């Protein structure tokens, strides 16, 4: 009879590695923490804390799919899960998990708080579904807005658009006002957003961009509402213009608490010259993410409820991918896992993409310590343009300049700049409005108390 090899968990060594992983987590080195938690798991797969801690580290990097997988394993070992579902806006799934946690841990105050928040969120969803107008009968919110009829009060001293043309002088004045924490009058905000909507609606899902020989083109990654770092990009690389065009590759808003300033600035440059600035849709240009991560609350606070609906509508008009000189494919999250999808499918059918193998792929979506990462023998570049992400990651930001005709990437990195004392996530949903030095998003996927950064 063959003997069965039994693997005995190396618990002491696993605990030693877990301590190192916790230290890495406290230092905001989440990728390193994930690697160390993985080593601990390989030594002892029956400790739910290792799986849960790794899941939480994944959520810090917004790798929610991996977080769900690890949290699912953790709940099989020790029934605790939910934060990843919350982070993705999947309130019904999170509610089921927190109901289970409440039964198992009835005295856990954090679980009780999250359960209550989930119950409220699910009730709100049910109400919205009950009163929702069928999609075929919905009227565009943009069609109901006439910005020309909105009066500008005499006491308003901010930037003004004369007539229907957005000028560079206006945008400079607006950015200066934003820098000093002044708001733009809603008449001009409406004008900028509505004009941008008209331009975006006319674009295909995949946009081909041509860069003439001797000219350059700049690609930026996630900005995430970090307006003062956006100003720094322009300081380092110049304003968007016909001779200095940009592509911002999604995730303009959320997390950072100056998302309104960021999106109005980007849209205003689009109004000045459509070919001077290109915009791709990221995963945070969506209703579900905006409800959770702050943009919706910020828009409601700085503008109005109508703008919440308007931005949601305009975000749906954003292209999903760009091709530069038929050589470089730029998309927010990366390639699809489904085989056989071609660039022509994006143009003709839906929002799917897979470039030929000889294209360079540029994507964003993930924090990188140096602001960028080059992989697959130089065929894949990740660029992230929000330095010191959420005021706690300590990462650099980066952008990429491509020079035509060779289109070789030149990567420029930069550090975060000071901003007013408004914390990230200041407008976020209640269950995500936690201080930067708090490590518990919930009691479900948690790094133990002694690991709080």
Residue among 7, 19, 79 nearest 43 (CA): 7
Q: Facing residues of 399 across strands?
A: 220, 412
Note whether 343 and 206 are within 8 A (CB): yes
Torsion sign, CA atoms 234, 322, 309, 195: positive
- Residues 273-288 have a mean pLDDT of 94
pLDDT over 60 (residue 344): yes
Name the band, by pLDDT with cuts 50, 70 and 90, for residue 447.
Answer: very low
Distance between CA atoms of residues 81 and 84, nearest Å: 8
The answer for 256, left when phi > 0, alpha when psi is -120 to 50, beta otherwise, is beta
- At 214-229, the pLDDT tens digits run 999 999 999 999 999 9
pLDDT in the model for residue 136:
63
CA 354 to each of CA 43, 211, 411: distance values in angstroms, whole numbers, following the listed order? 38, 22, 24
CA 453 to each of CA 279, 281, 312: distance values in angstroms, whole numbers, following the listed order? 35, 32, 35
- At 227-240, the pLDDT tens digits run 999 999 999 999 99
Neighbours of 205 (CB within 10 A): 18
Lateral strand order in the sheet of 277-279: 277-279, 246-248, 216-220, 397-403, 408-414
Q: Which residue has the tokens 């009227």?
A: 139
Catalytic residue among 28, 224, 278, 284: 284
The answer for 372, left when phi > 0, alpha when psi is -120 to 50, beta otherwise, is beta
Note whether 67 and 84 are within 8 A (CB): yes
Neighbours of 113 (CB within 10 A): 15
Average pLDDT over the chain reads 84
Q: Which segments within 282-407 are labelled E, that is strand? A: 321-324, 328-331, 360-363, 372-375, 380-383, 397-403
pLDDT over 90 (residue 298): yes
**pTM for the full predicted model:** 0.76
Question: Using the 8-state DSSP alphabet, how is residue 396 labeled?
Answer: P
Token digits of residue 415: 């550090």
Active site residue 284: yes
- Residues 58-73 have a mean pLDDT of 84
| 3-state DSSP assignment of residue 404 | coil
- Residues 149-177 have a mean pLDDT of 95
DSSP string, 92-127: HHHHHHHHHHHHH-TT-HHHHHHHHHHHHHHHHHHH
| 3-state DSSP assignment of residue 309 | helix
Phi, psi of 372 (to 5 degrees): -160, 165
Note whether 332 and 364 are within 8 A (CB): yes
Q: Facing residues of 216 across strands?
A: 403
Q: Which residue has the tokens 């899960």?
A: 81
Domains of the chain and any CATH numbers: 11-131 (1.25.40.10), 141-422 (3.60.21.10)
Distance between CA atoms of residues 328 and 389, nearest Å: 27
pLDDT over 80 (residue 336): no
Neighbours of 275 (CB within 10 A): 12
């Amino acid at each position: 009879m063959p003997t069965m090899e039994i693997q005995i968990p190396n618990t002491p060594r696993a605990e030693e590695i877990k301590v190192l992983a916790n230290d890495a987590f406290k230092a905001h080195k989440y990728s390193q923490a994930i690697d160390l938690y993985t080593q601990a798991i390989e030594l002892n797969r029956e400790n739910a804390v290792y799986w849960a801690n790794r899941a939480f580290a994944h959520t810090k990097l917004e790798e929610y799919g991996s977080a769900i997988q690890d949290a699912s394993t953790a709940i099989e070992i020790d029934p605790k899960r939910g934060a990843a579902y919350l982070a993705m806006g999947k309130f019904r799934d999170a509610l089921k998990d927190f109901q289970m946690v409440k039964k198992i841990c009835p005295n856990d105050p954090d679980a009780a708080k999250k359960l209550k928040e989930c119950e409220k969120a699910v009730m709100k969803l049910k109400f919205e579904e009950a009163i929702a107008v069928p999609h075929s009968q919905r009227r565009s919110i943009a069609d109901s807005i006439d910005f020309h009829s909105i009066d500008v009060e005499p006491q308003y001293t901010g930037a003004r658009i004369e007539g229907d043309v957005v000028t560079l002088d206006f945008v400079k004045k607006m950015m200066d006002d934003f820098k000093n924490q002044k708001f733009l009058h809603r008449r001009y905000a409406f004008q900028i957003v509505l004009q941008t909507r008209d331009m975006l609606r006319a674009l295909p899902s995949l946009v081909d961009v041509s860069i003439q020989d001797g000219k350059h083109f700049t690609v930026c990654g996630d900005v995430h509402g970090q307006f003062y770092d956006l100003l720094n990009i322009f300081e380092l690389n110049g304003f968007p213009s016909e001779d200095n065009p940009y592509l911002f590759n999604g995730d303009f808003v959320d997390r950072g608490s100056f998302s309104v300033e960021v999106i109005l600035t980007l849209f205003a440059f689009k109004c000045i010259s459509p070919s001077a600035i290109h915009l791709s849709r990221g995963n945070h240009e969506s209703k579900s993410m905006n409800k959770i991560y702050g943009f919706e609350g910020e828009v409601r606070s700085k503008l109005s409820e109508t703008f919440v609906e308007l931005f949601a509508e305009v975000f749906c008009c954003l292209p999903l991918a760009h091709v530069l000189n038929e050589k470089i494919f730029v998309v927010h999250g990366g390639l699809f896992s489904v085989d056989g999808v071609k660039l022509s499918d994006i143009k003709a059918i839906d929002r799917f993409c897979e470039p030929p193998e000889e294209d360079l792929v540029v994507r964003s979506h993930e924090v990188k310590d140096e602001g960028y990462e080059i992989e697959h023998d130089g065929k894949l570049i990740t660029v992230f343009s929000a330095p010191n992400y959420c005021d706690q990651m300590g990462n650099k930001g980066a952008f990429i300049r491509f020079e035509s005709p060779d289109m070789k990437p030149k990567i420029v990195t930069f550090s975060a700049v000071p901003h007013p004392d408004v914390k990230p996530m200041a407008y976020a949903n209640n269950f995500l409005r936690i201080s930067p030095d708090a490590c518990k998003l919930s009691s479900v996927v948690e790094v133990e108390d002694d690991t709080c950064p």
